[in-house]
A and B are shown apart, each in its own frame.
Chain A
Amino acid sequence: MMKRNKSLPLTETVYYILLSLLEPAHGYLILQKVEELSDGEVRMAAGTLYGAIENLLKLNYIHQVDSSDKRRKVYEITDLGRDILKLDFRRMQHMVSITEKQLSDKE
């Protein structure tokens, strides 16, 4: 069995941030996208997002891209970030399918 990546599982907020950065976005846009992608379930505050961005930059899951907006930095997911996102997606996909199976077998 392949050794599991140490950064998995991602937290819900990190997962949604990475998902929203498949396209370039600045901070506030990330907040809006996360809320929208999670059906309004995940409402991040500015201070929490700022720390999360700092952390994801350090991990090299996202990087800063050029933008015309001088006051707002714009970010995008990196190849590494995309790989991690996919790994976590597959992890959850397995959980969903195995849960479905177990539940229907037991009923």
Chain B
Amino acid sequence: MYSFGFFLDFEKEERWLNKMGKRGYLLVDKQVGIYHFRKSENIMNIKIDYRNFSKKSDYEDYLTLFEDGGWKRIVGSMKSGVQYFQRVNHEATDDIFSDEISKASRYQRLYRKHLTLLSSFLPFLVVLFMSGAINVESMLNPKSLYYTPGLWEATGFSFWRAFLFETPFALARGYLGPFLALLALLYILLSIKGLMKYHKRIKP
């Protein structure tokens, strides 16, 4: 079964996944917001960590420690950030974290990651603005994004052929800049959100 989900809060996501687990659905994969569940029996607690790894040996050591501790990774990869674990041993600790600070530090790693993404993005964005790639006027008047001479006077087949041919270029011309700006804005919001959650949670 596939289900769409978007979470900014690890606790909420965990609650949702565990509710699915109670109904007999175990998370087996996740791709850009699409969660893939499979029918399964005796699903135990699911918990989420957030970490990225640059070395394969680091990741393996990390996964082995969790596995030794009774927590098996069900979804995640070196660069996926979110790492989903399922409790597989009754002796295991109730959670993958045993204190509030380490639990909150997930959010710290999350906002740091978003800040890094943002900072690699920013120079690019500045160039887009300077070069006029973000132009509100042409966004409001999409016709001006088509450069084929006489396009709007043409009719029938010759119009559609030229129109469809140029549409991808016109979209890129008019909306790529704004799209990237929007993405940057999203990263800013995500960083702030993560930072706020981290600070809210480390307060005693």
Given contacts A28-B68, A46-B93, 9 further A-B contacts (CB under 8 A): A28-B65, A28-B69, A43-B98, A46-B66, A46-B69, A49-B65, A71-B64, A72-B61, A72-B65
A52 and B102 in contact (CB under 8 A), knowing A45-B96, A47-B96?
yes
Contact A46 B71 (CB under 8 A): yes
Interface residue? A48 (CB, 8 A): yes
Query: What is the bound-complex CA distance between A45 and B47, given in angstroms?
Result: 12
Nearest A residue to B62 via CB reads: A50
CB proximity to A under 8 Å, residues B43-67: 47, 49, 57, 60-62, 64-66
On chain A, the number of residues with a Cβ less than 8 Å from chain B's Cβ atoms is 19
Contact A47 B64 (CB under 8 A): no
Chain A nearest CB from B68 CB (Å) reads: 4
Return the CB mask of B26-38 against A: 1 if under 8 Å, else 0.
0000000000000
By a CB distance below 8 angstroms, the chain B residues around A50 are 62, 65
Interface residue? A78 (CB, 8 A): no
Contact A27 B61 (CB under 8 A): yes
By a CB distance below 8 angstroms, the chain B residues around A27 are 61, 64-65, 68
- Please report whether the interface of chain A is mostly helix, strand, loop or mixed according to DSSP: helix
Interface residue? A21 (CB, 8 A): no
Chain B nearest CB from A64 CB (Å) reads: 10
> Per a CB cutoff under 8 Å, which of A28, A44, A73 touches B98?
A44
Contact B102 A51 (CB under 8 A): yes
By a CB distance below 8 angstroms, the chain B residues around A72 are 61, 64-65, 68
Contact B49 A47 (CB under 8 A): yes
Query: What is the bound-complex CA distance between A58 and B173, given in angstroms?
Result: 47
Interface residue? B137 (CB, 8 A): no
Nearest A residue to B96 via CB reads: A47
By a CB distance below 8 angstroms, the chain B residues around A47 are 47, 49, 66, 95-97, 102-103
Contact A48 B64 (CB under 8 A): no
A45 and B69 in contact (CB under 8 A), knowing A13-B99, A51-B105?
yes
Contact B61 A48 (CB under 8 A): no
A48 and B102 in contact (CB under 8 A), knowing A27-B61, A71-B60, A73-B61?
yes
Return the CB mask of A13-46 against B: 1 if under 8 Å, else 0.
1000000000000111001000000000001111
